[in-house]
Structure 1
Amino acid sequence: MRRPWNSWNRTGAALVAGLAGALLLGTTSPATAQERPEGNATAATASPAGGGDMTVRTDAGWVKGVRAGGNRLFQGIPYAAPPVGELRWRSPQAVTPWQGVRDAGAPGSRCAQKADTWGLPASAAEDCLYLNVTTPARSAGNRLKPVMVWLHGGGLTRGAGSDYDARRLAERGDVVVVTVNYRLGIFGFFGYPGIENSGAFGIEDQQAALRWVRRNAAAFGGDPRNVTLAGESAGSHSVCAQLASPSAAGLFHRVIAQSSPCGAGSFEGTPLKSVLGVPLWIPKVFYEGYGQGLAAKLGCTDPETALVCLRDMPVADLLAEDPLPLPGYGNAVLPEDPAKVLQEGRFHRVPVLTGVTRDEGTLFAPAMFEPMTAAEYENTLNEKFGALGPEVLARYPLSAHDGSPLQALAAVMSDLDWAWQARDTDLLLARHVPTFSYEFADRTAPPLFPLEHGVKPLAAHGSELSFLFGVGWESAPLTPEQRRLGDRMIDYWTAFAATGDPNRPGLPAWKRVRPGQGTPYVQGLAPGRDGVGFFDRAAAHNLAFWDGLAGRGAEGSLSGSPS
């Protein structure tokens, strides 16, 4: 019998794995913290007495943090048992309580991952299900603060919660921030016949962390009844998954989705295709076929013992294989295709703040394509868009993009793969929940990582992160004007976390998306006196042009109204 995996084979897996590097949105750890070696779970013997507000009791035991400026910082707190041995590829299990006071002064290990070309570290740790809590040192009486839970990016193959220094966000916004590790790559997104919840272990880990927050937030001064789930890139993709997951019900009360539009279906019924060309979700049966193929390749050929054999396989051997770093559905975590759930409005009814950067494609074009000539650029557009290729070429000529084919392709990706879909997502969400849309438009922002082949980063994918978090990657520091923009963004983000509405006195007004509007309201975020306010996404990203192409049939004739 032909295995389902054969219909989306290892070539597809390699493509996804390769693009995961481009989706990487981690940073180096804050200078104030060093990683705890794998398996270091030793609890200190000190008594809680005298620990003051730096010693907090969780449901599994006492932890002692450190003071960091105007914040308290608790790192490396386990929220689930180490998923090792028999627990590899199983749902997260409860933590074993500890005696004494556990040192929470350094992050836990990064989940197993390869090193990458941008210099982020590798890890062989499966004992990695840790989270970090940053809370302002000051307190206004007994009032519990809003909680923001951050899911890191990295293509679901790289990164760690500790890569994001949340001290400025917590102190200025007066919120408790929780950053989370979750299983990645082949350890977090794997399947095999008979494995419960194939394809979704990383998504389950995130839910386990949210349940930890519900049980323990109050001990850190956070309000478990006011939790905002936020993430960027793959972290935002995870937020979308949680919106569609029945088992996430009640675990969060608002969401922030940065640079991964939750909606899907913009391309259905049109002759257009995503340039990125990667599916958002994979059926569980594909994961099971993938696992069978991997078992055979690694010598685990007996179906009766293959899973035991795979669970005994060294971490390095599994990391050497191409993963499928995409959430799988058809399991208890994601019973249905999230695209269908979202399109039908059957997601959790919570307010949403969502947006993209002005130039999302500049990170991806040089990662996906080699340098090319003008003729090769034309051929690439014809391959991607068929009979519509010449019209795309006319709209995105090389002369408008410094004569650079990769810069022009980046613009196509920014407009079609992100902005066009973001508009549809805004309108979809707004039919059901309060929705606020933004576009980060600072084209002078320090890029997340250096780009290849001379591509200008502009307002690249991930470039807004240093405006919200303290970052450790090597890039130019923010200018005073950019820092002021970051302060405004923190004010918006934390006002939304507190109330479900980013507006507050002293900030430029931010209108909600109204589903009846043909063009949703988008708040532009850029430095300067007039940098924050209405942003004309439709004009900036040629949305009417793409609507016109979307309304044509395969042969280029009109077949219906634009999507």
Structure 2
Amino acid sequence: MVGRGVRGWTLAAVGVAVLALAGCVVGCGARAAPVAEDPVVSTRSGPVRGTEAAGLRTFQGIPFAAPPIGEARWQAPQPVEPWREPRDARTPAPMCIQSPHDPIPGPQSEDCLYLNVTAPSSARPDKPAPVVVWLYGGGFYQGNAAEYHAGRLAGAGDVVVVTPSYRLGIFGFLRLPGLPDAGAFGLHDQQTALRWVRDNIRSFGGDPGNVTLAGESAGSMSTCGHLTSPSAAGLFHKAVMQSGTCLVEWPPYPAEGRGYTPYEPPAAVEATSTATAAELGCGVPAEVLPCLRGKSTAELAERMYGFSPSYGSSVLPEDPAMALRDGRFHHVPVMVGTTRDEARSSITGEVPSPLPPDAYRELLAEEFGADAAAVAAEYPPVEGDNGPSYAQIHTDRTWAYTTEQALDAFSARVPTYGFEFADREAPLYEGMVEKAFPYGAYHGSDVVYLFDIGGVEAAFTDDQRRLAAEMVGYWARFAHTGDPNGPGPPGWPEYGAARHVQSLAPGAGGIGAAAYSTEHRLAFWRALHGTAGSR
């Protein structure tokens, strides 16, 4: 079904782009023999040995929970078994299990609850730096924390960056009757990592009282979910959401105008889980969980798709979308934004190319039902390729419209900064090839302006490199103070009554007010769904 396919490819686009093409991260080889200069830091579980170079200290593969294997499969994270001798933390741990149908380079394991710390050498316990905890994207079925090399953000921004892994797909979000915290194990992992930060980060020179939770795509949606989670109270003090909030939706849209969301009703995920268990020969209700725990990792990895977080657990007691709209979230400063052309890269391979007018109209009818004629009138079909129009519809409705709704909800209660990453010549990830039309500022294109994926800086022009430095400055200042403003780059007003969205693009005049509402036809979508107009 095309509608459900749209949901899948949109949610996971950056996971495919970053992970399938980046290759093994720097340092994936054999562990080197320790040298006297290697820094050793004590944690509550035991000491860890990292590396130090170019003004940065790096620690990789630090366990923040026990391996979720055997009887611990589909349980809340358990405490780490302590150790006494320095643990080698100079190379990354295996990533969490991914689907074999989207092959990702590098080792994978169910034993994957590890995190990485990148800290300025100048940060120390008596002079702690702000902390950024980064949650990777990948549709909740892909992602690798170790790919996000944070040297520029940590060094130039004077922040400590932590990148944890979390369980994915069927391992992270299975939901069965009577299973505690079902449907949210991956989110539970993320909160356990935040508690590790609270309890240990001062030893690495980080300030546990100044933590910013940030993420992109599924990591951004996770961040929004934690903002509504009672059990996350006090674990972070600011939040950054890049391409995803609690309100993002994918078609098909029923009559009330709400589509699929990243946080599914418990019954929906339970139905998917029960059907999957039956397919695996585990259909007897009283025996389903022991039966599934007896299945091999490979058997379960074949069924990674169709699982995303659900609410109705201790981690997420209620629908995050409802909580956000009603103001039931942790009142901390937020930065929230999208890329200008979110959906352009995502539709590759999902719809015919070129997309003829009749097929275009059929897609709109399937996805928008009774509203299809109104959508077609606003985005009229052409005789040639309708792929660009189809991509624009999903950039506007799926991403920009829902992001504006989230910005409205946040700004009514907390300091809120909106942004649009708008570099339409953004570098492609290695191996990415543009198809029928340019990808522009595609989903995930902003990530390489903050992180060196796989340890390699993107092929920037001079103007793009300056934009990357300015973005690092904005993000770091927000982590320090809750306000991205400071000397140097153009000012960034709060979202406020004017609905200010900061455009982030290279070159003279590239940073300033975006024409966000006009670019994305938000007046049309507000009218269609009966939501608030311009204030």
Q: With structure 1 as the length reference, what TM-score do the two structures score?
A: 0.87
Q: Could you tell me which residue of structure 2 aligns to residue 358 of structure 1? A: 340
What is the count of residue pairs matched by the alignment?
Answer: 529
Distance 1:26 1:55, change over 3 A: same
1:24-423 aligned within 5 A: 24=15, 26-27=18-19, 28=22, 31-34=25-28, 54-115=39-100, 117=102, 120-121=104-105, 124-139=108-123, 142-263=126-247, 273=257, 277-371=259-353, 372-386=355-369, 388-397=371-380, 403-423=384-404
C-alpha contact (below 8 Å) 2:448/2:458 kept by paired residues: no
Distance apart, 1:392 and its partner CA: 3.0
1:328 match: secondary structure: coil
Distance apart, 1:307 and its partner CA: 1.0
Distance 1:17 1:207, change over 3 A: same
Amino acid of the residue matched to residue 312 of structure 1?
G
Give the whole-Å Cα distance in 2 for the aligned partners of 1:187 and 1:342: 27
Distance apart, 1:265 and its partner CA: 9.0
1:538 match: secondary structure: helix
Give the whole-Å Cα distance in 2 for the aligned partners of 1:415 and 1:150: 26
Distance apart, 1:289 and its partner CA: 3.1
Give the whole-Å Cα distance in 2 for the aligned partners of 1:201 and 1:322: 14
C-alpha contact (below 8 Å) 2:450/2:471 kept by paired residues: yes
1:354 match: secondary structure: strand
Give the whole-Å Cα distance in 2 for the aligned partners of 1:208 and 1:175: 21
Distance 1:353 1:116, change over 3 A: farther
Distance apart, 1:473 and its partner CA: 9.4
CA deviation string 1:32-91 (max 9, x = no partner) = 321789xxxxx99x8xxx956711011111111012322111000000000000000000
C-alpha contact (below 8 Å) 2:253/2:368 kept by paired residues: no
1:182 match: secondary structure: coil
Give the whole-Å Cα distance in 2 for the aligned partners of 1:207 and 1:311: 24
C-alpha contact (below 8 Å) 2:7/2:250 kept by paired residues: no
C-alpha contact (below 8 Å) 1:441/1:526 kept by paired residues: yes
Q: Does 1:540 align with 2:523?
A: no
C-alpha contact (below 8 Å) 2:199/2:208 kept by paired residues: yes
Q: Does 1:510 align with 2:495?
A: no
CA deviation string 1:3-45 (max 9, x = no partner) = xxxxxxx9998876565543526443675321789xxxxx99x
C-alpha contact (below 8 Å) 1:147/1:223 kept by paired residues: yes
Q: Could you tell me which residue of structure 1 aligns to residue 510 of structure 2? A: 531
C-alpha contact (below 8 Å) 1:17/1:325 kept by paired residues: no
Give the whole-Å Cα distance in 1 for the aligned partners of 2:377 and 2:237: 45
Higher deviation after alignment, 449-458 or 11-20: 11-20
Amino acid of the residue matched to residue 378 of structure 1?
R
C-alpha contact (below 8 Å) 1:111/1:125 kept by paired residues: yes
Give the whole-Å Cα distance in 1 for the aligned partners of 2:24 and 2:487: 32
C-alpha contact (below 8 Å) 1:272/1:549 kept by paired residues: no
Give the whole-Å Cα distance in 2 for the aligned partners of 1:135 and 1:86: 35
Distance apart, 1:143 and its partner CA: 1.7
1:153 match: secondary structure: coil
Give the whole-Å Cα distance in 1 for the aligned partners of 2:127 and 2:466: 28
2:212 match: secondary structure: strand
C-alpha contact (below 8 Å) 1:185/1:323 kept by paired residues: yes
Give the whole-Å Cα distance in 2 for the aligned partners of 1:98 and 1:542: 57
CA deviation string 1:298-330 (max 9, x = no partner) = 222433332111111001101112533321111
Q: Does 1:438 align with 2:419?
A: yes
Distance apart, 1:136 and its partner CA: 1.1
Give the whole-Å Cα distance in 1 for the aligned partners of 2:455 and 2:270: 37
Give the whole-Å Cα distance in 2 for the aligned partners of 1:438 and 1:217: 29
Amino acid of the residue matched to residue 415 of structure 2?
P
C-alpha contact (below 8 Å) 2:250/2:260 kept by paired residues: no
Amino acid of the residue matched to residue 328 of structure 1?
S
C-alpha contact (below 8 Å) 1:113/1:184 kept by paired residues: yes
Q: Aligned Cα RMSD in Å? A: 3.0
CA deviation string 1:193-226 (max 9, x = no partner) = 1210110000000000000000111000000000
1:356 match: secondary structure: strand
Task: Give the unaligned 5+ runs of structure 2.
Answer: none
Distance apart, 1:545 and its partner CA: 2.5
C-alpha contact (below 8 Å) 2:56/2:155 kept by paired residues: yes
CA deviation string 1:239-297 (max 9, x = no partner) = 011111111111000000000033369999996847xx532212233333333322222
Task: Give the unaligned 5+ runs of structure 1.
Answer: 1-9, 38-42, 552-559
1:178 match: secondary structure: strand
Amino acid of the residue matched to residue 233 of structure 1?
S
Q: Could you tell me which residue of structure 1 aligns to residue 408 of structure 2? A: 427
Distance apart, 1:413 and its partner CA: 0.8
Give the whole-Å Cα distance in 1 for the aligned partners of 2:68 and 2:5: 25
Q: Could you tell me which residue of structure 2 aligns to residue 555 of structure 1? A: none
Give the whole-Å Cα distance in 1 for the aligned partners of 2:518 and 2:169: 38
Percentage of pairs with the same residue: 44
Give the whole-Å Cα distance in 1 for the aligned partners of 2:251 and 2:3: 20
- Match for residue 501 of structure 1 among 464, 477, 483: 483
2:286 match: secondary structure: coil
Amino acid of the residue matched to residue 509 of structure 2?
D
Give the whole-Å Cα distance in 2 for the aligned partners of 1:529 and 1:12: 40
Distance 1:476 1:397, change over 3 A: farther
Distance apart, 1:485 and its partner CA: 0.1
Q: With structure 2 as the length reference, what TM-score do the two structures score?
A: 0.91
Give the whole-Å Cα distance in 2 for the aligned partners of 1:242 and 1:261: 11
Amino acid of the residue matched to residue 304 of structure 1?
A
Give the whole-Å Cα distance in 2 for the aligned partners of 1:410 and 1:11: 14
